[in-house]
Amino acid sequence: LLTILEFPDPRLRTVAAPVDPAQVTTPEFQRLLDDMFETMYDAPGIGLAASQVDVHQRFMVIDLSDDKSEPQVFINPEIVERDGEQVYQEGCLSVPGIFADVTRANSIRVRAIGRDGQPYELDTDGLLAVCIQHEMDHLAGKLFVDYLSPLKREMVRKKLAKAKRSAA
Ligand SMILES: O=C(O)C[C@@H](Cc1ccccc1)[C@H](O)SCc1ccccc1
Ligand SMILES: [Zn+2]
């Protein structure tokens, strides 16, 4: 299992570097994808960005299914179209126990490279669109708490610090 970094760890603010497409089909990268899925399923979560496990490369894994049957890999993802708005109460494996409403595009067109090293394009909306945008923020060093007011973000920081102390 990989260790998930937690807010306010400054490494979560690193901007990830593009993946060299030639690396995708190497055993090392495929192993990293397996470790990411294992870590995500164990958390449990429906998405995990490489930034969250201190790997600063542009890729993320997602699986919305409840039986691990729909694993999706997005390498060097880019949103080429966005439409509409939706509000979703988001959580984050890097900000445990905090939930807040975030407004994001309702439907998006994403271009990415898949696990097979081949480019593909996906039109989606709803929760998958929210998750893709949430994970892509991680790759840009952004967290959903950045959409909160500075006051609320400070309250989150204090709450997490307190939780850490009582857990210690
Ligand atoms: O930290 C992460 O990136 C995993 C996030 C992904 C996510 C956040 C908000 C909305 C959609 C996806 C979650 O912690 S995974 C847990 C989860 C499970 C079901 C629905 C929403 C979030
Ligand atoms: Zn997150």
The tens place of each residue's pLDDT in the chain, 168 residues long, gives 999 999 999 999 999 999 999 999 999 999 999 999 999 999 999 999 999 999 999 999 999 999 999 999 999 999 999 999 999 999 999 999 999 999 999 999 999 999 999 999 999 999 999 999 999 999 999 999 999 999 999 999 999 999 889 987
How many Å apart are CA 156 and CA 150, to the nearest integer? 10
**pLDDT of res. 167:** 84
Atom of ligand 1 nearest to the CA of 92: 1
Q: Letter for the amino acid at 141?
A: G
Q: For residue 87, report the distance from its CA to the centre of ligand 1, in Å.
A: 14
From the list 71, 65, 105, 63, the residue with the least C-alpha distance to 88 is 105
Q: Is 94 in the pocket of ligand 1 (CB under 6 A)?
A: yes
Burial of 35 from C-beta contacts in 10 A (0-12 / 13-18 / 19+): middle
Active-site residue flag, 90: no
pTM: predicted TM-score of the whole model, two decimal places: 0.96
Nearest atom in ligand 1 to 138's CA: 3
Distances (CA, A) of 54 to 36, 91, 149: 11, 19, 26
Residue 119's pLDDT is 98
Closest ligand to C-alpha of residue 49 is 1
Residue of the CA atom closest to atom 19 of ligand 1:
46
